[in-house]
Amino acid sequence: MNALKRLALVGASTTNIRLGAVGLVGVRGYWNKDWKPGPYPKTEEEKRAAAKKYNLQPEDYEPYPNDGSGLGDYPKLPQVAMEARDPYHSWDYPSLKLDYGEPVPDMFNIYTEDRLDDYTEPVIPGWKKVAMFLSVFCGGWIIFQYFQERPAFRAVLPKQYPKDGAVHYTFEPAE
């Protein structure tokens, strides 16, 4: 039961985890005050208690600097995009690629699989994207400039208008 409470507290920091936790433990952690991290730990004792609360080993636990960001005792965890995680591991929450009771980084919700991934190398590197754009754009511009000097036209003479002094003829002979 203690573990379930811990999970609820840990998961309370993000919506996604909260939904999973609610499914498991019912009503635990659905109120704002339950999601809030505790106050910044000052003593060793407080640090150990916070590490236990977040399912971490005391040597792995490191809070964010107390600079007024309001993160309190929430642990500083590596931000890894979920898309970069092993897709073949048997996760307890496959849709989130998370295990049971696993602490998540504080910006976890922007690193889920449907959102950011600044961790994996892109398939096409940036310089190649720029080169692809420039080659298509400049190539199109060169082709355009080439045919700009050779416009298509309709092969007929200008229309005859009855202007002063201009004489036009029909196709009938005079006599």
Q: Which residues bind other proteins (CB under 8 A)?
A: 150, 152-162, 167-175
CB of 168 to other proteins, least distance (A): 5
Of residues 33 and 168, the one with the C-beta less far from other proteins:
168
DSSP 53-71: HTT--TTT--BPP-SSSS-
CB of 171 to other proteins, least distance (A): 7
Question: In whole angstroms, what is the distance from residue 165 CA to residue 109 CA?
Answer: 83
Question: In whole angstroms, what is the distance from residue 101 CA to residue 10 CA?
Answer: 7
Of residues 88 and 147, the one with the C-beta less far from other proteins:
147
Of residues 43 and 170, the one with the C-beta less far from other proteins:
170
Bridge partners (DSSP) listed for residue 117: none
CB of 143 to other proteins, least distance (A): 15
